[in-house]
Every structure is written in structure tokens, then in C-alpha cells.
Chains A and B, each alone.
Chain A
Amino acid sequence: MIKQDSQQADFVGPVTDIAPSRGWVSLRLRELWEFRELLYFLTWRDIKVRYKQTVLGAAWAILQPLLTMVVFSLFFGDLAGIKPGSDIPYPIFSYAGLVPWTFFTYGLTQSSNSLVGNAQLIKKVFFPRLVVPIASVLSGVVDFALAFVVLIGMMLAYGIVPSVNLLWLPLFLLLAFITALGVGLWLSALNVEYRDIRFMVPFLSQFWMFSSPVAYPTTLIENHLLRTLYGLNPMVGVLDGFRWAILGGDTAAPGPMIGISAVVAVIILVSGTFYFRRMERNFADVV
């Protein structure tokens, strides 16, 4: 310690130490905070560039969930005859699920590919690498907002008035964000070394969609205990919570299921962040 101080005296100012790190390392969240402007600019870039050179532009943000809703209404609503379990029309029911789902799956896909996509940056400039996947997930918020406005419009057209539960909505959006980022951190770090991830992600998000209550209600599971355990898939909590917040008390009120989802989402995020930080030291050499 004394040696350290005497060494410090040789320098003009406070010293940054650069040395090999071993094992699990600290998250250095303060450093992340110092680079918040970069986070802002990368998010802004992703939003700005997303619909460049497209004819329909930002309309894609609305069309994607909307068209899926049409397909779902045809096949699940009409042909398979799935009932949302209350008097909510199936198109509204499925679209209300597709809006947060699209945000989640966009964030998941984008963040998984974000490190490889920004390889040039990572090889040539220093900044906390966490900024990259976070910006990818954040950039989906604009799309979400656009699709959400359409949802409100559709509800009014069907004569459904949003309930006061709407105030809880940001919380469920946050939960979707945490889940997308958590999984995205794991996958993006893995993707640096194993490009298999790139091929896995589309399949993963499709599989995840069908195992989440996007096209069907959770009430299909009649056993209460099982339904609560269904919350182990964090997107179950997000989707049920989202529908509850928008469509009001008609749908099943979110109970302990959302609690379970939230805990699982946080576990994924925290473990993902630690894993990411651990792998970070090799990114510039391997990517």
C-alpha cells in the first residue's frame, strides 16, 4: 500500500491501472454511467438508420405486429377458435400481446448480433462494451411507441376504453426490456466466439413465441399452480401483465406469476451482465 502511494507520487495526476484481470470481475457500472452520451448516440444511430432506404419507412414498425395479428386472427382466432376468455375480440387480444412481443424479439435479435455488427468499433476504440447491446435493445422503444399508438387506436375503434391499470404499463415494458437485455447479453457475448448463435436466434425467438401466451391466453392452463409456474418464462409475466394493464380487469389479474417472471428476468440480467463482463476482455481479439 505504501509502495503504491510512493509510486502514485511519480505521476501528474490520478492513475488508471491496466493489468490482466482474473476470474469474475466487477461490473464497473460507474464507468458505464460516464459513457452515457455514447449510449445515447449509439441508440440514436440505430433508430436513425433502421428505416433508411426503405419505401415504407417507420410504417414497418406498425406493419410487422399488425400483419402477424391478421395471420393469428385467421388461424388461431377463426380456424382454431381460441377464445381470449372474456369478451375481448381476438384481434385486440393478440395485437396487445404482439406489441410487447415485437419489442422483445427485436431487442433480443439486435443485441445478440450487436457486438459482431460493431466489430470495427470494438477493435479500434475503447468504451464499456455493455453500451453496445444496451443501445440495441433501447432502439426498439421507438417502434414500440408507434405500434402502441396503433393499439390504442384499434381499441377505441372496437369501443374498448383503456383502464386505469395503464399506469402500470411502464413496469411491464421494463420487465420486457430486462428480459431482452439479459438474454441478449448472454447471446451477444457467446456470438463473439461462436457464430452458431446467429443461426440459433431466429429459431430461439420463434420457439419462445409459441411457448409464450402471444396467440393464446394463459387461462388455457386450468391448474392454478401450473399457471403460476408458467411464469418461469419471464415473457409470460410480461404478456399477461401487459394485457392486464391495457385491457383492464376483464383478463386474469396478474398474481404471483408476475413476481416469478420478474425474479427470473432479473436473474437472467444479472448473470448475463457478469458473464458479459467476464468475456469482455477477449472481445477485441476474437470478434
Chain B
Amino acid sequence: MGDLVIRSEGLGKRYRIGDLPSEYRTLRETIVDLAKAPYRMARRMIRGESAPRTQTIWALKDIDFEVKQGEVVGVIGRNGAGKSTLLKVLSRITEPSAGRVRVAGRVGSLLEVGTGFHPELTGRENIYLNGAILGMRHAEIEQRFDEIVAFSEIEKFIDTPVKHYSSGMFLRLAFAVAAHLTPEILLVDEVLAVGDDRFQKKCMGKMESVGKEGRTVLFVSHNMTAIHRLCPRVILLDEGRIRADGDTSEIIAEYLNADRSEADCKEWNNPETAPGDSTLKLKRVRLLDRNRRVRSSFDIREPVWVEVEYWAFDTAQRFLPILMVNTEDGICAFETAANHDPAYSGKTRKKGIYRSLCRIPGDFFNEGMYSIDVFIRVLVPRKYFVRESNLLSFRIQDSGSGLSVKGEYPKVWSGVVAPILPWETDVRPLSRTGGEE
């Protein structure tokens, strides 16, 4: 017996995408099409084909990899890289178009929390229903029922229909059921973003223990911090192909560095193509030094200015620009929002072109590369207008002046940040015996 649980050979998944609708369609064409439609439909139905669409894209192509028993593998990549499709094929939700995968053991997939929950049913009833949907046996659910309820922390409401639950309660219950799945192979897609901080920690803990129990886990996420913590090995997907497969730190650094060029400024001149929606669009983001010059490399002692410009087309929203600053390893160093700007906080915005500036002080970052994600959102109720990762990136360098946090120390100082903090030291004289006087 070997130790493999998954082997994928030449795996591919092709999707058809519809023809772009041509703008100039004559009425005659439309009528002719309509008249032909029943005939075409009948022909297709008999042959079992799907609707005629000419263009196809390969969501996955030539995917080869192996996973050994007990491995915890992260799957990363940009949106549309094929991560979710890979999990769907592995869990047999959809069929591959080419190649083959062999899987040894029961596969449990968690592509979404709360799949199949019914609002009219009580928490108790939903635990049984959802458990069955996720592939648990009735006896198994019975046995773990109390554990699930305790984990979800909703004991009191277990006999209330879930439509009366708050969204947090709902998610906690849904995750609790999912977390108690015990397949040999677990496929997880971005489900950790659930609930408040405390519950998220609990979820992460649960995921870690799943990995330690010797089960095989494939974990898709955009959260590099979580990937770092959970997965020693990472597969990087890019446009449906495997770009890299191996050690987590190396590959995450490669992934994040992939488009680091010209990252001191991103600009959209045409509101049509700019990120955002009809309410709000991103116009420009820039990194500036104290003289308002665009730069992507800063001295460790210098402040860094981040400028965000956007169009607001609607007055009614209390949106906030938010910056998330990440290290090279993809760990979030900190997040900052304009909610402390007195001109800004809690007020409804008017239409216009906005420019927000954030000053990150000098003697703050440690040496290294940092990248910035830009969000523009309303905090409560949660609503995003712009969510762009990796828009800007910059390098912090220590010129060795001896004035930064590490002084004359020549080597690398540890830590994400390198602030100069006030220290106080006093000294008391020693007595002759060496003790205190």
C-alpha cells in the first residue's frame, strides 16, 4: 500500500461561454431565430447537448499533482484562477472535461457554509438535514449532536426556526455542523471568514486540529495568514494551470511579487472600466513621499503617504476608504480606515471626486516589501464598493544611518514593524553582599 490519496493527471475543465450578443440584430433575424428555435431545441435535447455556444474557456488545464495522506495543502491564486473549479471537480460536483483524478477515501467538501439550511426549520432540524447533505450518517450526527451545539454556542435557540437567527448565529451553527464532518479528505473553500474575531479564532483552531488528526485537507483561501498557519505546502494556480507547487513561504512570496512593477501608482481614467459599482468607482491610488512625489521605495525613517481618489456618484452612502497593509508573506500588518478623519466620520457623503490621504509615519515599518489592498465600503451594514488586492507595493530600506530602530546593528532586525519606542532605565547601587540595600 502506498500513501497517496489524490493523484490528478492532465486534469482539465472546459466551460462554454455565451456568444457576445451583437448589438445590431434585425427584427427579421430575431423572428427567424425564434422560428428555428423549437427545431434546434428538439435536436439538442435528443443529442443531450447543451445550448450552442461557440466560445469555450479552460478553467483548468493540464493539472497534475499528488497529495499524500495527512498532507494539508493550500490552494492559492487570483480570482478566476480555477481554485474553486478544482475543488468542485475533486468533490465530483462537476465532471472534468479532460484527464482523470483518482481519489482514495471519503471526500467531504465545504465550499460554502450553510448549504441546504432551510429557514423554516429549527436549528436542531437543520443540523440533521445539513449533516445528511454534507454526507454524514444519521448515527454520526446523533453521536456528535451535543458537540455541534456546544461549538455553535446557540444552545438556547436550538429549537427556534433559523430564520429568526442573527446572521452571526446562523453562520456559527452552519460552521459547527461543517466542522464536525469526518471524511478522510476534506476540501475547504474560504469558509473561515465567519463570525466575529473570537469565533474566527475558534474556527482556525478547529481547522488546525483537523490537520493534526492526520486527515488530508485541501484549503482554498485568499487569506495568506491563514494559509501560512495551516498549510506547509501550497499549490499556486494561475489561469487554470499550476504555476508553482511546494514550500508555502517561497510560493506566497512569488505569488505576491508576481506583479510588483510600477506599483507606486494605479490609475483609471475611464469610469466605465474602473473598479467599483454605479455608486462609487476608484479613480487613482498613489504612494507619495513628503514632497508629494510618486515613489515606491522609502527610507525606513520617512513617512509614506497613500492617496486614494474616487468618484462618488450617489449621495446616500457613508462609505469609508480602507487600506490593508500586508507583508511580503501576505500577513496583514495592519488595517486603517478614514473613520477617524473628523471631516469624515459618520457623515453621509455628497457626490463628487474624493481624495483621501493617509500618512503612515516614518520609523514604523521594518525593512522589506509591503503591499496595499484598497477597500471602499460601508461598515454597517456591511457593503463593499471596491475590493482590490495588491494595488500598490513599496520597499522600505534602511540606509544604515544609525538613526533607525536598530541603530548601528548591521543585520536584519526582526518584526513586521520597527518603531522607535521610549524606554526608561534606572539603576540602583549594589550592596556588598550582592543583594538590594
Contacts and interface: CB of A to CB of B under 8 A. Distances in A.
Pairing of A with B? yes
Interface of A: 7, 9-21, 37-38, 40-42, 44-45, 48-49, 52-53, 120-127, 190, 193-194, 275, 278-279, 281-282, 284-286
Nearest to A4: B102
A277 to B, nearest CB: 10
Contacts of A121: 115-116, 133
B4 interface: yes
A11 B102 CA distance: 9
A11 B121 contact: no
B50 A193 contact: yes
Contacts of B97: 20
Contacts of B105: 12-13
B109 interface: yes
B50 A48 contact: no
Contact of A52 (B1, B120, B138): B120
Interface in B81-137: 88-105, 107, 109, 111-112, 115-116, 118, 120-121, 125, 128-129, 132-135, 137
A123 B88 CA distance: 9
Interface of B: 1-5, 7, 15, 41, 45, 48, 50-51, 69, 88-105, 107, 109, 111-112, 115-116, 118, 120-121, 125, 128-129, 132-135, 137-138
Contact of A12 (B3, B15, B45, B48): B3
A10 B132 contact: no
Given A41-B129, A284-B88, A10 B4 contact: yes
A285 B15 contact: yes
Nearest to A286: B50
Contacts of B2: 9-12
Contacts of B111: 124-125
Interface centre among A41, A190, A278 (most CB of B within 10 A): A41
Given A11-B5, A125-B109, 6 more contacts: A11-B102, A12-B1, A17-B102, A18-B100, A20-B95, A53-B120
B115 to A, nearest CB: 4
A12 B4 contact: yes
Contacts of A17: 100-102
B123 to A, nearest CB: 14
Given A11-B102, A12-B5, A193-B51, A38 B120 contact: no
A161 B207 CA distance: 64
B48 A10 contact: no
Contacts of A286: 50
A37 B103 CA distance: 23
B65 to A, nearest CB: 14
Nearest to A16: B103
Nearest to A52: B120
Contacts of B101: 17-19
Given A45-B118, A285-B94, A18 B102 contact: yes
B104 A124 contact: no
Given A11-B5, A41-B128, A125 B115 contact: yes
A284 B98 CA distance: 17
B96 A12 contact: no
Contact of B93 (A10, A45, A49, A284): A284
B264 to A, nearest CB: 41
Contacts of A123: 93
B50 A281 contact: no
A37 B104 contact: no
30 contacts: A11-B1, A11-B2, A11-B104, A12-B2, A14-B104, A15-B104, A16-B102, A17-B101, A17-B102, A18-B90, A19-B99, A19-B101, A20-B97, A21-B95, A42-B132, A52-B120, A120-B116, A124-B93, A124-B109, A124-B111, A124-B115, A125-B111, A125-B133, A125-B134, A126-B107, A193-B50, A193-B51, A275-B48, A282-B50, A284-B88
Given A10-B4, A18-B103, A127 B135 contact: yes
B91 A127 contact: no
Nearest to A46: B118
Contacts of B109: 124-126
A281 B133 contact: no
A32 to B, nearest CB: 14
A38 B4 contact: no
Contacts of A42: 132
Contacts of A53: 120
B197 to A, nearest CB: 26
Contact of A41 (B41, B45, B133): B133
B319 to A, nearest CB: 30
B104 to A, nearest CB: 4
B108 to A, nearest CB: 10
A134 B195 CA distance: 36
Nearest to B113: A124
Contacts of B41: 194
A20 to B, nearest CB: 6
B116 A125 contact: yes
A49 B121 contact: yes
A219 to B, nearest CB: 37
